[in-house]
Amino acid sequence: MIINCKELANKIKKRAVEEAGGKKLVLHAIIAGEDKASIVYAKSKIKTLRKLGFDGEIDKVNSEREMLKKIEELNGRDDVHGIMVEFPLPKRYDAIKVHSAISPIKDVDGMNPVNYGYLLLGHEILTPNTPRAVIRILESITDIEGKNVVIINRTPVVGKPLAMMLLNRHATPTVCHSKTKNLKEKTKSADIVVVAVGHANFLTADMVRDDTIVIDVGINVVDGKLQGDADFEAIEKKAKITPVPGGVGAVTTACMVENLVKAAKLQGVI
Ligand code: NAP
């Protein structure tokens, strides 16, 4: 009952490499200060890019002003094809200002309001990678049209864009959050449950039916090990579920590579 996400991730990366046609595309990841988790995530993305014949660099900045200046510089450079900002940003940074500063055609995170607005209008140009990874996983195992999908997350990075992507594919999304009442009733009636709460074992086996597809976006460290938001062992016995690690995260990284290639196409370099 475990959904094979690694194979899908490899397929997405292989297609992206083919589409790049040998062009060495370059991504820059900007990090505010010395946030250790951000540095680990950025390094791992760059490692993936290098394995595929692309390249990446990390730019560390110490203030919002420096970040905006760096973005302006990278926007103007022909040897930079994608720009990402590692989140979470320190509270004193204005995230919308930062996202808005990135050129919409180098916006590998799909968070510039122009790209976000296109998504809302039903045109998916450069879209956020995690919700797109969820869509890719679902498309690899089921027909999305007409499905009732419960998303437990309403953030701009996961729940909101995912709801738009599902509507674009004729599904019926229900977006739940910390103030949602009778959550179990909702998850029980769903064909698909996407959980992204950030609490290990949040989604228990009694919250889903036998024929439910569970997509676990959560990443938690429990006793030094990575774990999702679902009670994987119990749910895996009765329903289809993505693993953590090697699930949504692996496909998200592949989608990042896909977006770098899409961005390069928008810039007319491939
Ligand atoms: P977040 O900002 O903390 O948001 C958590 C969401 O869960 C919010 O919408 C929150 O509702 C909701 N929530 C919290 N407690 C709840 C409860 N008791 N019942 C129902 N809903 C509840 O986190 P995030 O940045 O969106 O990330 C969520 C998880 O996904 C984290 O574990 C993160 O590491 C993981 N993640 C994974 C990937 C990947 O590629 N695999 C990418 C991004 C995030 P409110 O809005 O009401 O607070």
Q: How many domains does the chain have?
A: 2
Q: What share of the chain in percent tops pLDDT 70?
A: 100
Q: Is the CB of 112 under 6 A from ligand 1?
A: no
Residue 138 sits in the same domain as residue 242: yes
Measured in Å, residue 172 CA sits from the centre of ligand 1 at 20
Q: Is the CB of 181 under 6 A from ligand 1?
A: no
Give the mean pLDDT of 75-91: 96
Confidence of residue 33 (pLDDT cuts 50, 70, 90): confident
Residue 133 sits in the same domain as residue 241: yes
Q: Is the CB of 250 under 6 A from ligand 1?
A: no
Residue 140 sits in the same domain as residue 89: no
Q: Is the CB of 173 under 6 A from ligand 1?
A: no
Residue 159 sits in the same domain as residue 93: no
Residue 177 sits in the same domain as residue 214: yes
Instruction: For the full predicted model, state whether its pTM sits above 0.75.
Output: yes
Q: Is 188 exposed, middle or buried (0-12, 13-18, 19+ CB in 10 A)?
A: middle
Residue 144 sits in the same domain as residue 194: yes
pLDDT tens string 249-260? 999 999 999 999
Please report the pLDDT score of residue 105 as a whole number.
98
Please report the pLDDT score of residue 196 as a whole number.
98
CATH number of the domain at 30, please.
Answer: 3.40.50.10860
Domain that holds residue 216: 129-249
Residue 157 sits in the same domain as residue 50: no
Confidence of residue 34 (pLDDT cuts 50, 70, 90): confident
Is there a domain that residue 110 lies in? Answer: no
- Cα separation, 58 vs 183, in Å, equals 41
